[in-house]
Structure 1
Amino acid sequence: MDENVSLAQLARRLEDVVGELRGLPVDVERLEDGELVRQQILRAAGSARELRAMHPVGSPDTGRREQRSRRDVLDALQGGLAMRTIVHSGVLDDPRKAARLKELHAAGDLHRIIDEPIQQLLVFDRSVAFVRITPVAHSPGALLIRQQSLISILIDLFEQTWARAREVTAPVYRLSPREREVLALIAEGRSNGAIARALSITEAAVGKHVAGVFAKLELSASEDDNRRVLAVLAYLRGEVTLAHLAW
């Protein structure tokens, strides 16, 4: 199904549900306090069997908050919670967050990466959902949703986004959108100067992106290997994997 068509259908479903609920009690609670939101999330996780999550790029967590969040996720995984998480590709630009993503993915919280903007979302089973009140990253408030018709729409949104997102198991998928653009041009045989002109950026910026590509593809400097060639090979292997997944 065409992506625009499916999203349009999703929007119409949301309009229909809103129309049906107009004038009726709606089971949506507004939580303003960040600690209360966390307590409600932990309560939902304690009895849930499955979690669907989406996380946009935001300002860096404080060390204390990030460590607490990491412990919460690991505890939930050990308790048997099945987790799937979609994160924005900009997260990969932060080495600390990229390492945390890799750790949680290996622990069982299956991650996929997407370039398009996404909203903060948690859906536990088909019973309760949390949506950030405002799109501002790390704003404390959230909407706690128990209305089944709304949860069904949020699950559809997650599943369609999950289908478009990329796997994180192949190293090439760790690259940021700009790094993938640079790597695609390297695959065409272009020099750093030619890449800079094509992307309207400085040659120094291209060099920085190329270094990022080498680091994320784990291509260390060697007298015997041409890292640009190895990076292109990784890029081509990534394209084959994407084609296979699309089938």
Structure 2
Amino acid sequence: MATILVVDDELGIRALLSEILSDEGHTIELAENAAQARAARERSRPDLVLLDIWMPDVDGVTLLKEWGGAGLLTMPVIMMSGHGTIDTAVEATKFGAIAFLEKPITLQKLLRAVEQALVKTAPPRPAPVAPGLPSYARTEPAAGPSLGMSAAPSGHSAGSLAGHLPASHHGNALTSEQTFELDRPLREARDAFEKSYFEFHLAKENGSMTRVAEKTGLERTHLYRKLKQLGVDLSRNKRGAGS
């Protein structure tokens, strides 16, 4: 995960971006003006800066120029503005910004821009090679879990169904095999499925409520309410937990 400096004179914007990016596992530094941004950049050496253009003392483009001229533009910078124009975006790019986000910033655009910025600046990592195979035999990423039902294997009663429905999280591995008892009221069977469904996504996204909300198509408030109703244990899916 990365250290991200958010520079914006609006408290609400700083709080919102901090919440979203912290939920993604990043360390967030906050600054409300250019002076604080300079100090934070020197102190934390961020991996990425989200920089507002319109600020009361020194505007974001001027600060961007300052960093570039002093050789301090060692991290990617994404500019933000609610009043920006194409000319402003082009100017910011010319002076070293790698992207421009227009306010109000949507969740999808924010996460995509941050991910792309960090990927571009991350050092390349060699692809893993399976033992005993030549160097050109690269391992392929495992396919995502299937949501298709399979026939119940031998050993399962006619009242149960073993499907590729992700549920459990053992260590750092996700298991996609889960048995559902069908000989029960519809509501109970549905709740069991939904609990397994959400537990899988929480494990897959390392407890990130933002990612799970995006993947499942639910608002965060609705998602929290749903997980509480189903009795999903959120603590074991938090980043850094011992699970």
What TM-score bracket applies, with the shorter chain setting the length? under 0.3
In terms of Rg, which structure is larger? Answer: 2
More helix by share: 1
Identify the structure with bigger relative contact order (alpha carbons < 8 Å, sequence gap 6+).
1
